[in-house]
Structure 1
Amino acid sequence: MQLDVGRLRLLAAIAQHGSMTGAAAALSYTPSAISQQVRRLEAEVGHPVLERHPRGVVLTDAGKAIVAHVGSIERQLEALEVELDDIAGLRAGSLRLGTFPTVASSLLPLAVNRFRERHPGVRLSVLSARLELLLEHLERRRVEMALLWDYEWSRINQPELVLRQVTEDPTAVVVSRSHPLASRKAVQMAELADESWVIRGGGHPVAEVLSRTAHAAGFEPTVSFEANDYQEAQAMVAVGMGVALAPRLALANLRDDVTVLSLGADAPRRRILLASLVGRVPTPAEVAMAEILVAAADATAVRRTAER
C-alpha cells in the first residue's frame, strides 16, 4: 500500500472543518477536486474513509485511523524539513574523506581545522590509505571523496572519476646539514651524479621518480639505503648514507639535521587531486571541503615559497 501524504492531510482538513466544502474553502480547492482526491485516497486505502450525509460527512473507522496518525506524520515531516535545512546549511550531516599519508601529515590538518571551525555540526571522518585502496574505497562508496596523486607518466585515467586538481607537489632533494651543497638553495640533478641515494623501498613511486630524473640527467643512481618511510629516509640522509628525493609535502616535518634543495623548474611534479564518482551530486559539505582544501594548498605553497 502506497499512501499519498497530501491526501492524508486533506482528509485531516475535512475532519477539522466538518465538510468537504469547508475543507475546499480553507485549502483553496474546488469541492469537486476535494471529492476526487478523497476517491483516490479510498482507492489507495482499500476502504471508504468518509460516510456522506446530507448535513456533511463522518469519518469511517479507516478515516479516523488516518486522521489520528496525520498529526504524527506532520511532526515528522517538520522535523525532516529542519534536518534537511541543517544539512543544506552545513549545520548537520557527514563527510567521509579519503587521503594518503604525505597529504595527511602536511596539507590535510590545516584543512580539517578550518572545516571544523566553520562547520562544527558536520561529522567528518578521514580514511588514510595507499592509492589503490583509495580507488577501491571510492568505488565501494566507503568515502564520498578522496585525495589522490599522479605523475605525468602515470596519469589517473578512470572515466568513472571526476578529478579536480588541488595543487602541484614538486620533488625536492634532501641533504644533510654537513653536505657540501647544504648552503645552496637549489641544485641541478646532474650535479648529484656521484652521490649515493636513499630511496623508499618496496617499489614506492618516488623510486621511479629518482630513476627517471637521474636517467634524464645522464646517470644511473647508486642506492645505499631503502627506507620504509620518509622520516626514516631523512634520518639516513642526516647520518650521511646519501641524499634523497622526496615530494615537498612529504617534508612538512623536517629534521633539524637535514636541509631541502630545490630542483628548479625541471623538478618532477605530482598532481594532488580531489576525486569523486561521476554522476554524484556533491553535498554542501563536499563543496565546502573542496574549497577549503584548495585554499589550504595555496596557503601551504605561499608559506613554502616564503621559507626559501
Structure 2
Amino acid sequence: MIDLRRLLVLRVLAERGTVTAAAADLHVTPSAVSQQLRSLADELGVELLARSGRTVELTPAARSLLTHADDLGARWERARAEIASHGSALVGRLRLCGVSSAAAALLVPAAARLRDDHPRLDLHIRELESDDCFRQLLAHRADIALVLPAHSPPVDDPRFEQTVVFDDAQDLLVPEEHPLTRRDAVELADAATETWIVKPEHNDSYEVLVAACAAAGFTPRITHHLKEWFAVSAAVAHGFGVCLLPRMVPVPDHHRVVRIPLHGATRPTRVIIAATRRGGREHPLVAAGLDAVTAVAEELTGRPR
C-alpha cells in the first residue's frame, strides 16, 4: 500500500524544485523528505529522482506518478469531506491565509463570525503573498486561501479549486493638494507622469499596478519601494508619489491624502479568489469558512455574488 503522505512529499517537491524548499514547506528536515521519497521509490520499484550536479530532477516515472497523485489527492479530500459531514457540530482546526488586504477586509471578519457561531472551532489566520498561499494549500498547512490571480495556477490545475469572491476597484491615492483632486473625472492615464510608490519584489500589488498602467497606455515610473499600505499612504501624504489603493483598504484619518475613484475605459479592478485543495470544498469546516467569506464580501459590495 502506498502511503499518501509520501505522495504529498513528491507533489510538494515537484512544486518547489528542491528538497530543501520542500522540507521548509512541509516543516520537516531535508533528510526526512529524502527518506520519504526513497521509501516511495522502493514501494514502487522505480527511480523517482535523478541527480543532476548538486540538484535532483524528477524521472519520467515520477512525473507519471504525479498525475495519479493529484487525482488521489482530490479523491482523498472528497473522502474526508464526506466522512466529516456525518458529524453534528463544527469541531476542529480551520487554517485561513491570504494577501494582506484580503486578510484584513475578508478573512478576519469571516473568522470572527465563525468564532461566534462555532465556538469549538480552532481558527488560524496567516498573511501571505498569493504564491505562498498556494504552496501552503498544497503542503496541507492551509485550508482556504484568498489570493490574487496574477500568481495563481491555471483554473483547471488539478490540485486546486478557485472561485472569484470579490471584485475590488482600484482608486488613485494622491496628496491632499494634488491638482487631480480638482478634476470632475480622473482616468488612470492622467497620472502617467506621476512618481509611483510600490514594492516590486514579492508583492502582488506590483503586477496589478503594472498591468493597469499598461492597459492605460503607459509604464509607471516607480521610485519608492514600499509595500505595507500604512507606509504607502504615509509616503503619498508627504508628497513622495501616488499609488493605486484597493478600495477595501482603509486610509488612515490623519494622513492628508485623497482617494480618487478612476473613470474611463481602463478603470483598474482586481479580483480576490478563494482557493482550496481540489475535492475539499465540501468539507464542513471549509464550506463554513467559504460561506463566511462570501457573506462578508457581499456586505462589502452590497450585492450577492
Superposition TM-score, scaled by structure 2 size: 0.63
* Distance change >3 Å, CA 128–CA 86, structure 1 → 2: farther
* Distance change >3 Å, CA 164–CA 228, structure 1 → 2: closer
Aligned-partner Cα distance in 1 for 2:103–2:152: 21
* Aligned position for 2:286: 286
* Aligned position for 1:156: 153
Q: Is 1:131 aligned to 2:111, yes or no?
A: no
Where in structure 2 are the equivalents of 1:250-261 lying within 5 Å?
Answer: 251-256=249-254, 257-261=256-260
Aligned-partner Cα distance in 2 for 1:181–1:94: 48
Gap runs ≥5 in structure 1: 1-83, 304-308
* Distance change >3 Å, CA 212–CA 222, structure 1 → 2: same
State the Cα distance separating 1:137 from its structure 2 match.
1.1
Q: 2:95, 2:143 within 8 Å by CA — same for their partners in 1?
A: yes
| Alignment RMSD (CA, Å) | 2.6
* Distance change >3 Å, CA 255–CA 150, structure 1 → 2: farther
State the Cα distance separating 1:155 from its structure 2 match.
5.2
Indicate the SS of the match to 2:282.
coil
* Aligned position for 2:268: 268
**Bigger Rg, which one:** 1
Number of corresponding residues: 216
* Distance change >3 Å, CA 142–CA 218, structure 1 → 2: closer
Q: Residue by residue, what CA displacement relative to the aligned partner does 1:217-272 show, whole Å, maximum 9, x if unpaired?
A: 333322232213222111111011111113223x2243431121122463232221
Indicate the SS of the match to 1:88.
coil
Superposition TM-score, scaled by structure 1 size: 0.62
* Aligned position for 2:103: 104
* Distance change >3 Å, CA 159–CA 253, structure 1 → 2: farther
Indicate the SS of the match to 1:163.
strand
Aligned-partner Cα distance in 2 for 1:186–1:109: 34
Q: 1:198, 1:225 within 8 Å by CA — same for their partners in 2?
A: yes
Matched AA of 2:252: L
Matched AA of 1:173: L
* Aligned position for 2:64: none
Aligned-partner Cα distance in 1 for 2:147–2:103: 11
Higher relative CO (CA 8 A, sep ≥ 6), structure 1 or 2? 2
* Aligned position for 1:197: 196
Aligned-partner Cα distance in 2 for 1:127–1:240: 32
Aligned-partner Cα distance in 2 for 1:179–1:132: 36
Q: 1:88, 1:284 within 8 Å by CA — same for their partners in 2?
A: no
Q: Percent identity?
A: 29
Q: 1:184, 1:261 within 8 Å by CA — same for their partners in 2?
A: no
* Distance change >3 Å, CA 226–CA 273, structure 1 → 2: same
